[in-house]
Amino acid sequence: MSIASLSAPQVQSMLLTVADAVIAAEPYLSEADRNLGDGDHGIGMARGFRAVKEKIQATDPSEGVGKLFSHAGMAMITSMGGASGAIFGTVFRDGGKAIAAAPALDAPALAALLQGALDGVVARGKAKPGDKTMVDALHPAALQAAAVASLPLGDALLAVAQAAEDGRDASKAMIATLGRAKTLGEASIGHPDAGACSIALILRTMSDFAQAAAA
Ligand code: ADP
Ligand code: MG
């Protein structure tokens, strides 16, 4: 059985589960960044998601699913600092804004959320697919979400999480042209981008939550 949609209280609980997963993945995410950057990605993400937990626990879910995501994004922007805080916070803030009117998170809302997130990140960071950034996981995830928008949310999330993981894996073969890793040139080949690892982890955790909610 696949769940058709998640209510605002369920999305609140999903975001807390995502936060715990990112915090637990701090060593993995920092290791990914150590291969290509300065090794602090897990630290920044864990800091951001500790702030997300605090903010989301204090949010009344009757504010709506969009507000839950955008509050999470603002918590990241104000707590993480730096370029990546702004970029990852934008994923949640602009994604949430794109579904401000949604009464629940269903597959069409997921597609709108990911497209809003992608548009916001690209407007802010100017990364193109193939630059070896988190966009290489987010872009295929947004495309897949649009393609499966007629499915129940649980099935849509399974496909979207897979697309993000495929994008993360495809980033291994790319040469970094943005961010700290660009100075490595061809030496950046062979490792996945750290931000793409984060996006894949977030979407896989959302999918796992939706599969468990249907059981
Ligand atoms: P910093 O680079 O400041 O140390 P982090 O280590 O937390 O920040 O994050 C690095 C990640 O940020 C990269 O792996 C990449 O996915 C993402 N990133 C960097 N620059 C951009 C950009 N312009 N657009 C999208 N994502 C970016
Ligand atoms: Mg870093």
Strands 105-106 and 5-6: antiparallel
Domain that holds residue 67: 5-214
Residue 138 corresponds to which amino acid?
A: L
Site to substitute for ligand 1 among 126, 131, 134, most atoms within 8 A of C-beta: 134
Which pLDDT belongs to residue 1? 79
Name 212's Cβ contacts closer than 8 Å, sequence gap at least 6: none
Name which residue sits closest to atom 18 of ligand 1, judged by CA: 133
User: Which CATH number fits the domain that encloses residue 94?
Assistant: 1.25.40.340
Q: How many domains does the chain have?
A: 1
Q: What is the pLDDT of residues 116-137, one digit of tens each?
A: 999 999 999 999 999 999 999 9
Question: Are residues 170 and 59 in contact, defined by beta-carbon separation less than 8 angstroms?
Answer: no
Question: Are residues 23 and 184 in contact, defined by beta-carbon separation less than 8 angstroms?
Answer: no
The better pLDDT of the pair 49, 180 is held by 49
Q: What is the pLDDT of residues 174-207, one digit of tens each?
A: 999 888 888 888 888 999 999 999 999 999 999 9
Ligand 1 site residues (CB inside 6 A) read: 33, 37-38, 40-41, 44, 82-84, 87, 121, 125-127, 133-135, 178-180, 193-196
Six-digit token pair at 163?
Answer: 């697309």
State the distance from the centre of ligand 2 to the C-alpha of 100, rounded, in angstroms.
Answer: 31
